[in-house]
Structure 1
Amino acid sequence: MDMDGGWCSLEEIGPLSKLRRLTLHGLEDVSASSLAETARISSKEHLEYLELHWSSSGCMELRDEIEKQQQQEVVEEVLEKLCPPPRIHELHIKGYFGRTLPNWMMVVEACACKSLSILCLAYLPCCTKLADGLCRLPSLERLVIADAPAIKSIGSEFQASSSSSTVDGGVTESTSAAFPNLKYLSLVGLCEWEDWEWEEQTVDVTAGAMAMHALERLEIMKGKLSCLPPGLANNKRHALRELNLVELSNLTSVENFPSIVELIVCDCPKLKRISGLSRLHKIGIGRCPSVEVLQGVPSLHSIELEDGTIERLPGYLPCVNPKFLKLTCSKELHGSIISGSSSEWEKISHITKVVIYDIEDSDEG
């Protein structure tokens, strides 16, 4: 294990009870969970920051499936024994090539990881399911999941309410929201992700009872989602201000997010409709040539539009009334617009300030 520029064994880490920050590399070389247990991670009551790193290249290159499964079983058992202490504030896991996440992440008890506010899971090549227990972390504010190509769907249980109680008549009701303090969520590189099951809560639900009710910024990049779930686009969701959607090959619409102030959509070739964003102030649209509708945006102040392939300006531009437009387009379209005599100029002549760039000059800059 690499610690402060030197190498030591997990067994040597065990007695270091006052550690506050710890980074472990080379965990793929740990041959048994009993060795991981000697590090006594869960008993380090002062530990606030933990990084766990694996190199998955050796396992992923194996052609023998039985040997590969054996290595995956070992790595799963090792991570199970590296359970962080309750005081942990920030946790990073990178390169983990197990098929499932550990039990301490899947089923989080009320007292486990209660102080964890930042969690980053990066490069999980074989993991097929996100950890449902994450929604029970009371202090989690930032969640980043990156490069998990085996995940194809996210079920409703991922954002399910964290606890329930029985009231008169035997009816069960939620007593606390899932992800109660999550402010930033980044889902990047879930390349095969197609479905996000999350139904809208409509029966007497308050804003504070919704899953992720504190969410302020959401980033989704590189996936196959065709639409955003209704549970996310709840009209009682007031905190969500920023939405970034990049390289979503099947996304067709972005609708009914009344609290969004800033939206970025980029490299979404099937995106056709953006509507129902009543507080939208700023939008960036990059290389989304199929967008036909931009409406229900009365507060729109500025548009940044970049696409070097379109021959004409989008038909939605005359239908919106921003104060500012920054346009980066092909040399041909640029010349046609700045001549001031074409019908293309008429589409944007009502906008107070227009800045136009030739994309070829922009690239050189």
Structure 2
Amino acid sequence: MRTKNSTEEWVSIQKSKIWELSEENDKIMSVLKLSFHNLKSSLLKQCFGYCSMFKEDFKIERDKLIQLWMAQGLLHPSPGQSMQEMEDKGNEYFNILCQNSLFQDATKDEDGIITECKMHDLVHDLAKEVSKCESLMQDFNHVMEDNKTPEIRHVSRVPTSTLERMSELNIGGLRSLFLNDQISNTISSKLRALRVLDLEKADIEELPNSIGKLKHLRYLDVSYTKIKALPKSIGKLYNLQTLRMQSNKYLKKIPQEMQNLINLRHLYHDRKVEIPAGILGRLTSLRTLPYFTVRKEMGPGIGELGGLKQLKGQLSICNLEHVRDGEETKSALLVQKRNLCKLKFKWIGSGPTNYSSEKVLDGLQPHPNLQSLKIKSFMGAKLPSWMMSLENLKELRLVRCSNCEGVPTLGHLPNLRHLEIDGMSNLKRLGVEFYVYNDDAAASTSKQKRMIIFQALKTLDIGSCSELIEWMEAPMMCNGVKVYGNVFPCLEELSLCDCPKLRNAPSHFPCLTELKIYGMRNKMPIENIVSTPELTTLTTVRILGVKGLTCLPEGMLKKNKNLTSLWIRECDDLLVLLPMYLAVAHLFDYFL
């Protein structure tokens, strides 16, 4: 209703007879119908009706629903928006349905984007009502009684026996089939108009060869099945837009014929599924590709990513030890893929030299739009300088980069919210360079009187850095700009785990609520962090295996009035006076 702008429109709604209904459910259903009828686009109404294919109270995945709409041809661009992607139109429709309260129980990501939702029972009943002329769920008796060709276009959750009975009539007009059981050659050969075949969680071990006859098929899902191999005839599905085969532990390899699926936009598969060389390089319409595994010999080379200019979302590149040099990684053209928002780089085994690893990672420079980056088991000694230019980065995870001797300057990144440094066993020091770097040009043009460091960071996790000795305070000044006191202004969660040699830590964490410190041979880090008078926001403290800690820092309990959980274990030097803790009224969860 928020789209209603004129007085006349609102008066018309006010005078509606729905408000005269006595039964509450009738009134709610009528309000929902009013909301539905006020949807401006007939295609949008069809998109809503299509949701009846899902079970009641089913968690609907946003991307999957949009891909189903797309397969049905419901996402045509609006007049004047010929360049609009179908997926963008689907997102627009999805948001409108949410705004009209036709979707509920939304699951949102950190940026507030809805990723999943449900339909209320009454909303689902409405979806079934508006689609009843062309959709069939479970009951087929009314069709068989007339023995006439039905106008059914979409079938969901019917047993195989019912589907066999349907084949006695003309089922050539079916557009969607959601099936939980086997699909025979006889049935599949008749489904000539089928756009959607959803076999997710179906009890099947193979697909019939006749699937290649489904020339109009645009959506195929065989996730969570026991399928061991895809038939070669799948290469004849030239109109296929979405192929999902997730969580299928039996499927090891896809056929070479898949290189013919030039209209494929979304490919979902597990990391261990082998994709023969030459296939991905030809699928230039791909928007979704969760994994790319570099093979040692005859498998795909990383250069196959170069032609996939429309990739978006997230991508994990695995087995980077098989890449020969930096020039080869540059051919992937990641820096040109502006719609990739999440990247993971992973080495599995050892490569030729550490120097080669550095060149490889240098060549994987992403587009500045990147929002999330994870680097795992990198074997070089130095991380690339391009990391310091990722100003849109929100999440950075450096995991088991055991040869790295330092961390790039990250404090200036304005959007960085989450930082993890784990398993960097050669890291000895987090110094001034961790916060800021010298840039006289930037300093001369700066109009700020103060420099804010790690201005958006909410969580910081430093773990398993066995050689880390020193974590310095931020500098007082940098290029004439005041820094000290403007560090970690938003940090809420800090974890220091298994850094036994660490002997000091910063003391300015003005908003810290959760603190976890494990595996320390020195008590100074925890005393540095909590002793400052400014820290009054703690709610949770976890301490494990800190040597030399005889008592908690003075005043920590009393000044942190919101501290409700204190957990201490294996601190052998701690002298505990239990009544002291029990006397703190706000502390109700403790373990000593």
Structure-2-length-normalised TM-score: 0.44
5+ long unaligned stretches in structure 1: 60-69, 293-313, 329-365
Q: CA deviation at 1:165?
A: 3.4
Deviations 1:324-350 (A, max 9, x none): 46557xxxxxxxxxxxxxxxxxxxxxx
The equivalent of 1:16 in structure 2 is 308
Larger strand proportion of the pair = 1
AA in 1 matched with 2:516 = N
Deviations 1:167-201 (A, max 9, x none): 9xxx9976431211000000011011111111585
Preserved contact between residue 568 and residue 591 of structure 2 (Cα < 8 Å) = no
Query: Quick one: distance in 2 between partners of 1:208 and 1:153?
Result: 19
The equivalent of 2:418 in structure 1 is 142
Q: CA deviation at 1:17?
A: 1.0
* Residue of structure 2 aligned with 1:41, choices 323, 334, 340: 334
* Residue of structure 2 aligned with 1:26, choices 304, 310, 319: 319
SS of the counterpart of 1:100?
coil
Query: Quick one: distance in 1 between partners of 2:523 and 2:402?
Result: 24
Pick closer, same or farther for the CA change 1:17–1:317 going to 2, 3 Å. same
SS of the counterpart of 2:343?
strand
Preserved contact between residue 305 and residue 332 of structure 2 (Cα < 8 Å) = yes
Preserved contact between residue 264 and residue 284 of structure 1 (Cα < 8 Å) = yes
Query: Quick one: distance in 1 between partners of 2:343 and 2:502?
Result: 36
Pick closer, same or farther for the CA change 1:248–1:172 going to 2, 3 Å. farther
Query: Quick one: distance in 1 between partners of 2:438 and 2:492?
Result: 20
Query: Quick one: distance in 2 between partners of 1:161 and 1:26?
Result: 33
The equivalent of 1:286 in structure 2 is 569
Query: Quick one: distance in 2 between partners of 1:85 and 1:10?
Result: 17
Query: Quick one: distance in 1 between partners of 2:574 and 2:366?
Result: 46
Q: CA deviation at 1:208?
A: 10
Structure 1 position 189 matched with structure 2 position 451 = no
Count of matched residue positions in the alignment of Structure 1 and Structure 2: 279
AA in 1 matched with 2:486 = M
Preserved contact between residue 201 and residue 210 of structure 1 (Cα < 8 Å) = no
Preserved contact between residue 416 and residue 457 of structure 2 (Cα < 8 Å) = yes
* Residue of structure 2 aligned with 1:78, choices 360, 363, 368: 360
Q: CA deviation at 1:213?
A: 1.3
Pick closer, same or farther for the CA change 1:319–1:227 going to 2, 3 Å. farther
Q: CA deviation at 1:258?
A: 2.9
AA in 2 matched with 1:94 = K
Preserved contact between residue 475 and residue 484 of structure 2 (Cα < 8 Å) = no
Preserved contact between residue 17 and residue 46 of structure 1 (Cα < 8 Å) = no
Residues 142-181 of structure 1: pairs in structure 2 closer than 5 A: 142-160=418-436, 165-166=443-444, 175-181=450-456
Structure 1 position 322 matched with structure 2 position 589 = no
Preserved contact between residue 393 and residue 415 of structure 2 (Cα < 8 Å) = yes
**Which one is further off, 217-226 or 318-327?**
318-327
Structure of higher RCO (CA pairs closer than 8 Å, 6+ residues apart): 1
SS of the counterpart of 1:124?
coil
Say what the alpha-carbon RMSD is for the aligned residues: 3.0
Query: Quick one: distance in 2 between partners of 1:189 and 1:251?
Result: 17
Q: CA deviation at 1:291?
A: 2.1
**Which one is further off, 141-150 or 4-13?**
4-13
Structure 1 position 251 matched with structure 2 position 523 = yes
Percent sequence identity is: 23
Residues 192-341 of structure 1: pairs in structure 2 closer than 5 A: 192-198=467-473, 210-229=486-505, 232-234=506-508, 237-252=509-524, 253-254=526-527, 255-256=531-532, 257-275=535-553, 276-277=555-556, 278-279=559-560, 280-292=563-575, 314=576, 316-320=577-581, 321-323=583-585, 324=588
Larger helix proportion of the pair = 2
Pick closer, same or farther for the CA change 1:31–1:165 going to 2, 3 Å. closer
Preserved contact between residue 378 and residue 401 of structure 2 (Cα < 8 Å) = yes
AA in 2 matched with 1:322 = V
Query: Quick one: distance in 1 between partners of 2:317 and 2:423?
Result: 20
Q: CA deviation at 1:114?
A: 2.0
Pick closer, same or farther for the CA change 1:104–1:166 going to 2, 3 Å. closer
Preserved contact between residue 165 and residue 174 of structure 1 (Cα < 8 Å) = no
Pick closer, same or farther for the CA change 1:207–1:129 going to 2, 3 Å. closer
AA in 1 matched with 2:426 = A
AA in 1 matched with 2:301 = S
AA in 1 matched with 2:399 = A
Query: Quick one: distance in 1 between partners of 2:326 and 2:362?
Result: 8
Preserved contact between residue 154 and residue 195 of structure 1 (Cα < 8 Å) = yes
Pick closer, same or farther for the CA change 1:180–1:162 going to 2, 3 Å. farther
* Residue of structure 2 aligned with 1:125, choices 373, 390, 402: 402
Pick closer, same or farther for the CA change 1:327–1:184 going to 2, 3 Å. closer
Structure 1 position 98 matched with structure 2 position 380 = yes
Structure-1-length-normalised TM-score: 0.69
Query: Quick one: distance in 1 between partners of 2:522 and 2:425?
Result: 16
* Residue of structure 1 aligned with 2:343, choices 28, 39, 50: 50
AA in 2 matched with 1:11 = G
Query: Quick one: distance in 1 between partners of 2:452 and 2:438?
Result: 6
- Answer with 1 or 2: which has the greater Rg: 2
Query: Quick one: distance in 2 between partners of 1:325 and 1:260?
Result: 14
Query: Quick one: distance in 1 between partners of 2:380 and 2:546?
Result: 31
Q: CA deviation at 1:214?
A: 1.0
**Which one is further off, 184-193 or 264-273?**
264-273
* Residue of structure 2 aligned with 1:115, choices 392, 402, 414: 392
AA in 2 matched with 1:273 = C
Query: Quick one: distance in 2 between partners of 1:172 and 1:265?
Result: 42
AA in 2 matched with 1:120 = R
